[in-house]
Chains A and B, each alone.
Chain A
Amino acid sequence: MEKEADTARRRFLARATGAIAGMVVAPGVILQQVARAKPADEPVTSAQRWGMLIDTNKCQKGCDACVQGCVKENNIRSHYGPATDSQWIRKVEVRDRNSGHSFSLPMMCQHCAHPPCADVCPTGASFRRADGIVLVDRHICIGCRYCMMACPYKARSFVHEDIGPEEHVPWVPRGKGTVEACTLCVQRVDRDGANAVPACAEACAADGHDAFVFGDLNDPNSRISQELAKHGATEIRADLGLDLGIRYRGI
């Protein structure tokens, strides 16, 4: 009897919370949908090409806010040490041997237009979405790791251990024996369109550095396109001709 009352109270509380949250969030969501996002049942198209511009002049040495943002968003935990843990984004310190000039930058999947990982993948599990995001279909990845051999940026990680139920978040399918990497926070991109902010960029901005600009490389009016047009940027290992979605300034 007491239990029933308890259940009813819980149900009431849950509904009430849901309703209040709905009232608060709905206008924003609806407005956003009208303005930008595509309905979930529509396929992505090549009308957009999502990318990021990272200003290494704003990137602080020793700061790993972006890494922490990614880890939190995708719930990536450490298991058996850095050699086998997944790292979707990492901070790389670079130093010129001759001049001693040094800088720091975040390194992750570069979302190539011609991704070597997708080229070598035997099953097609590694693929590039029409909007430029490079992903791994965790349902058909057989764990051969050839993509990791092929990636020039060491952007991918192999899941070396069991992922416990407490580690799963709904938007990140993960599993032992498959390969994973930065998804450009595809769950946010699909929800918010051009207004999306990947978790790394969000964390960097929250920390006051604001080194990341996310946006549509195909839209000449987007902030990223305008900044690229104005200041230019560099692709890492541009000699490989992979046409990267991630560009850097100040390197």
Chain B
Amino acid sequence: MKKVNYRELVEIGRSYWGFLAIVGFFILLGLGAAYYMESNGHHVTGMSNQVVWGTPHVFAVFLIVAASGILNVASIGSVFRKGPYKPLARMSGLFAIALLVGGLAVLVLDLGRPDRLIVAMTHYNFKSIFAWNIFLYTGFMVIVAIYLWTMMDPVVNRFKAYAGFFAFLWRLILTTGTGLIFGFLISRDAYGTAIMAPMFIASSFSFGMAIFLLALFAIMRSTGRPLGDVLVRRLKNVLGIFIGGAFYFVVAYHLMNLYATSHHDVERFILLDGGVYTRIFWIGQILLGTFVPLAMLYHPTLGRSRGAIATASVLVVLGGLAQMYVIIIGGQVFPIPLFRGMEVSSSFFDGVVAHYAPSLPEVLLGFSGMALAVALSVVAMRVLRFVPESLADEVVDPHAAAAVAAETAGEEETGAAEAA
């Protein structure tokens, strides 16, 4: 591999500030929404005593899961020693921190008492997975920041491999912790299973890679820096594998529930007669979020088109949000089993599917988390050297580039011979 030169995003002129202004506007909208929700109380949202975690949690958990997943690009380079990924490692680390900050901001601003954040920092119940996660999240940011430092400062460059390995281990533990927020819940039929942990890890791989591809396309295109086809093909193939891996865990989870009679009701609800939740599962998560992008990525012609790869990545992101919606909201609207096999009713919505509709402030708060992640990344890339000047194939993967060149030349020769 040739020496990779990194440079700040200096190419983008006025449009940089315009873009930042738009992103900033979304952040402001989210802050306004949070202020509105906090000053009035949560009754102005779609949330209730039945659905206590709403759309903000869908976005927050998605962003946190994606944050750990997007670090994989760096890990593939450092831990699994795949050379072509190494020039991407800085961006991967930066996006990981940015997505996590975005997700946590949404989570914190949706608290009943966000002003008591300091309490969460000073009072700990170490039996709570939430308390562990506070350390896992802050620790992740510190470790990835150190990892970035070892990548960017020649003085500490020799520690890069260790930092990268540690960050990889930490991210696996972090996503385990996020999955177990639901895995540890014994009260509700949709949760309370250890498979939530590996399922979230597998999903994080796929969300992270999809977001990375989208960011990479956007950055290289807007700066006019070269991005080679061999690299893109590698990334999109890996995305396809990750989508398949995530799907495997979804299948295993539902098979398990379908086998256990006690869980038949919740499965029937999600898979068959849950109305909007069933549709979001089959159309959003499975069809648009899994099968369509898989088909696009591995299609002989579409799979070579960057537009199709970008579209597939967008679908994976939307499918991920759908998956989080089905898990978080669908798992809550389905009634708690107080008396199995019995019909129950009460003034508190026992025994009935609870109503939930996302409210505008919730959606705005969720989007603002995404906007915050974008803003942090864009500002950081402008002032520090995260992005390579070139990701052309001969820079990142000279051997593959040469092979492709030879192959193309060979095809041309054969074509010429046939024509003759």
Q: In the assembled complex, which residues on chain B have CB atoms less than 8 Å from the CB atom of A157?
A: 49
Checking B125, B128, B337, B347 against A87 with a beta-carbon cut-off of 8 angstroms, the contacting residue is: B347
Q: In the assembled complex, which residues on chain B have CB atoms less than 8 Å from the CB atom of A96?
A: 341-343
For chains A and B in complex, what number of residue pairs have CB atoms within 8 angstroms? 173
Question: B187 touching A151 by the CB < 8 A rule?
Answer: yes
Report the Cα distance A85→B112, complex, angstroms: 15
Query: For the complex, is A158 an interface residue (Cβ under 8 Å from B)?
Result: yes
Question: A148 touching B349 by the CB < 8 A rule?
Answer: no
Question: A142 touching B120 by the CB < 8 A rule?
Answer: yes
Closest to B345 in A: A93
Question: A123 touching B185 by the CB < 8 A rule?
Answer: no
Chain B proximity of A90: nearest CB distance (Å): 5
Checking A90, A98, A120 against B130 with a beta-carbon cut-off of 8 angstroms, the contacting residue is: A120
Closest to B42 in A: A160
Q: In the assembled complex, which residues on chain B have CB atoms less than 8 Å from the CB atom of A34?
A: none
Checking A146, A151, A152, A177 against B41 with a beta-carbon cut-off of 8 angstroms, the contacting residue is: A177
Q: In the assembled complex, which residues on chain B have CB atoms less than 8 Å from the CB atom of A236?
A: 338-339
Q: In the assembled complex, which residues on chain A have CB atoms less than 8 Å from the CB atom of B47?
A: 160
Q: In the assembled complex, which residues on chain B have CB atoms less than 8 Å from the CB atom of A39?
A: none
Question: A123 touching B111 by the CB < 8 A rule?
Answer: no
Q: In the assembled complex, which residues on chain B have CB atoms less than 8 Å from the CB atom of A148?
A: 49, 52
Question: A83 touching B349 by the CB < 8 A rule?
Answer: yes
Checking B48, B53, B134 against A84 with a beta-carbon cut-off of 8 angstroms, the contacting residue is: B48
Question: A122 touching B112 by the CB < 8 A rule?
Answer: no
Question: B336 touching A152 by the CB < 8 A rule?
Answer: yes
Query: For the complex, is B43 an interface residue (Cβ under 8 Å from A)?
Result: yes
Query: For the complex, is B145 an interface residue (Cβ under 8 Å from A)?
Result: no
Checking A86, A92, A123, A124 against B344 with a beta-carbon cut-off of 8 angstroms, the contacting residue is: A92
Question: A82 touching B128 by the CB < 8 A rule?
Answer: no
Question: A95 touching B52 by the CB < 8 A rule?
Answer: no
Question: B52 touching A158 by the CB < 8 A rule?
Answer: yes
Q: In the assembled complex, which residues on chain B have CB atoms less than 8 Å from the CB atom of A120?
A: 127-130, 184-185
**Which one of A94, A142, A240 has the highest number of Cβ atoms from chain B below 10 Å of its Cβ?**
A142
Query: For the complex, is A161 an interface residue (Cβ under 8 Å from B)?
Result: yes
- Chain A, interface SS category: loop
Closest to B48 in A: A83
Chain B proximity of A200: nearest CB distance (Å): 15
Report the Cα distance A34→B128, complex, angstroms: 41
Q: In the assembled complex, which residues on chain B have CB atoms less than 8 Å from the CB atom of A80?
A: 43
Q: In the assembled complex, which residues on chain B have CB atoms less than 8 Å from the CB atom of A119?
A: 125, 127-128
Q: In the assembled complex, which residues on chain A have CB atoms less than 8 Å from the CB atom of B337?
A: 237
Question: A145 touching B125 by the CB < 8 A rule?
Answer: no
Question: A154 touching B350 by the CB < 8 A rule?
Answer: yes
Query: For the complex, is B3 an interface residue (Cβ under 8 Å from A)?
Result: no
Question: B111 touching A142 by the CB < 8 A rule?
Answer: yes
User: In B109-136, which residues have CB < 8 Å from any A CB?
Assistant: 111-114, 116-117, 119-120, 123-125, 127-131, 134
Question: A95 touching B120 by the CB < 8 A rule?
Answer: no
Report the Cα distance A141→B347, complex, angstroms: 26
Question: A149 touching B119 by the CB < 8 A rule?
Answer: no
Chain A proximity of B134: nearest CB distance (Å): 7
Question: B186 touching A116 by the CB < 8 A rule?
Answer: yes
Checking A95, A123, A144, A160 against B123 with a beta-carbon cut-off of 8 angstroms, the contacting residue is: A123
Query: For the complex, is B188 an interface residue (Cβ under 8 Å from A)?
Result: yes
Q: In the assembled complex, which residues on chain A have CB atoms less than 8 Å from the CB atom of B49?
A: 83-87, 148, 154, 156-158, 160
Closest to B117 in A: A142
Report the Cα distance A164→B186, complex, angstroms: 35
Q: In the assembled complex, which residues on chain B have CB atoms less than 8 Å from the CB atom of A83?
A: 48-50, 349, 354-355
Query: For the complex, is B15 an interface residue (Cβ under 8 Å from A)?
Result: no
Report the Cα distance A161→B40, complex, angstroms: 6
Chain B proximity of A68: nearest CB distance (Å): 12
Q: In the assembled complex, which residues on chain A have CB atoms less than 8 Å from the CB atom of B355?
A: 83
Over the window 191-222 of chain A, the binary record of Cβ atoms lying under 8 Å from chain B Cβ atoms (1 yes, 0 no) is 00000000000000000000000000000000
Q: In the assembled complex, which residues on chain A have CB atoms less than 8 Å from the CB atom of B52?
A: 145, 148-149, 158
Report the Cα distance A126→B130, complex, angstroms: 13
Report the Cα distance A161→B112, complex, angstroms: 10
Q: In the assembled complex, which residues on chain A have CB atoms less than 8 Å from the CB atom of B347?
A: 82, 87, 90-91
Chain A proximity of B111: nearest CB distance (Å): 5
Chain B proximity of A6: nearest CB distance (Å): 41
Contacts A83-B50, A149-B188 given; does A142 touch B112 at CB 8 Å: yes
Contacts A149-B332, A160-B41 given; does A177 touch B123 at CB 8 Å: no
Question: B338 touching A153 by the CB < 8 A rule?
Answer: yes
Query: For the complex, is A179 an interface residue (Cβ under 8 Å from B)?
Result: yes
Query: For the complex, is B38 an interface residue (Cβ under 8 Å from A)?
Result: yes
Question: B119 touching A140 by the CB < 8 A rule?
Answer: yes
**What are 20 A-B contacts defined by CB distance under 8 Å?**
A83-B50, A84-B48, A93-B345, A95-B343, A107-B348, A118-B125, A120-B129, A120-B184, A121-B128, A123-B124, A123-B131, A142-B112, A146-B128, A146-B181, A152-B186, A160-B43, A178-B112, A179-B112, A240-B186, A251-B339
**Which 10 residue pairs across A and B have the least CB separation, nearest first?**
A143-B112, A177-B112, A122-B130, A152-B187, A160-B43, A161-B41, A83-B48, A124-B125, A145-B52, A123-B123
16 additional contacts (CB under 8 A) given A92-B345, A179-B112: A80-B43, A83-B49, A83-B349, A94-B339, A95-B342, A98-B341, A119-B128, A120-B127, A122-B130, A149-B53, A152-B336, A152-B338, A157-B49, A161-B43, A176-B112, A240-B186
Q: Give chain A's interface residues, CB within 8 Å of chain B.
A: 79-80, 82-87, 90-98, 107, 116, 118-125, 140-146, 148-154, 156-162, 176-179, 236-237, 240, 251
